[in-house]
Amino acid sequence: MEQRTISAPDVGKVTLIGAGPGDPELLTLKAARALGAAEVVLIDDLVDRRCLVHARPGARIIEVGKRGGCKSTPQAFIERLMIRCARQGRTVARLKGGDPFVFGRGGEELQALRAAGMEVEVIPGITAGIGVPATLGIPVTHRNLARGVTFVTGHARDGAEPDWAALARTGTTLVIYMGLKRLGRIASSLMQAGMKRDTPACAIENGTLETQRQVIGTLADLATDVMDRGLDGPAIIVVGDVVRCAGIAGVVPVRRAA
């Protein structure tokens, strides 16, 4: 009797895509092509929906929002969903704000996908810590002003904080993600560690978008100035002498009355 071989369906591919800091025109050409090939797109809350103009007609768009202080889609669910769709033979795009590997949980997702035997491609994006300060003319490194840059999160899952004293001693530009709600505490910790009160600092909300707002001032006053302006995030905070380079039309540092 002739035996018949039943082959398993082909396993699909998952692409982790960085959408950039906000402005959809900062999406890379490679990212746009990957979106055009995907049958399923899992999109984060902070990604501008205009990026989806590059998605193929009929693609399944799944909202898997994650925003600080709000109810978020569980990370484990997102990972299981990507694996399930790929095992159905579908081409999956995971569209994430900024760069997938800079405070974007892309590393966690890559590990989960590889452990499940998935084919994975990573397409980098412009991270907010570089792209957003650039809108104000702020270079995060400068030969005469900063010998390096340190990217750090102001909000950790376990509630722990970075070693602000150690960071203050580095002499590098500090670019702080997810730190707006703790800005007063962060500034105080940096100054207690010896950072000068008049160190230039800024907070930039909704960077690269039409709704971008910024507050430029000093480390000592920034938290109060941000509160006065009503910035509530998402925002990038930059601390260091490079902030002196800020200077585009319409940018007016906040000055409080004496």
Catalytic residue among 178, 195, 221, 225: 178
Q: Is 23 a catalytic residue?
A: no
Percent of the chain with pLDDT over 70: 88
The residue-averaged pLDDT of 55-59 equals 96
Q: Is 82 a catalytic residue?
A: no
Tens of pLDDT, residues 218-258: 999 999 999 999 999 899 999 999 999 997 434 444 433 33
Catalytic residue among 44, 99, 221, 225: 44
Position 42: which residue type? L
User: What was the pLDDT predicted at 251?
Assistant: 43
User: What was the pLDDT predicted at 253?
Assistant: 43
pLDDT surpasses 90 at 38: yes
**Tokens found for residue 140:** 């995060």
Domains along the chain?
Answer: 13-126 (3.40.1010.10), 129-245 (3.30.950.10)
Round to whole Å and give the CA distance between 239 and 222. 10
What backbone phi and psi angles, to 5 degrees, belong to 102?
-115, 95
Helix (H) or strand (E) holding 152: strand 149-153
**Tokens found for residue 38:** 């995907």
Tens of pLDDT, residues 163-198: 999 999 999 999 999 999 999 999 999 999 999 999
Q: Are 64 and 83 in contact (CB under 8 A)?
A: no
Q: What secondary structure does DSSP assign to 80-149, as a single string?
A: HHHHHHHHTT--EEEEESB-TTSSSSHHHHHHHHHHTT-EEEEE----HHHHHHHTTT--S-BTTTBS-E
Band of residue 203 on the pLDDT scale cut at 50, 70, 90:
very high
Catalytic residue among 66, 82, 195, 221: 66
Residue 183's contacts (CB-CB under 8 Å, 6 or more residues apart) are 154, 203, 222, 223, 226, 237
Q: pTM for the complete prediction? A: 0.87
Q: Is 66 a catalytic residue?
A: yes
Percent of the chain with pLDDT over 90: 83
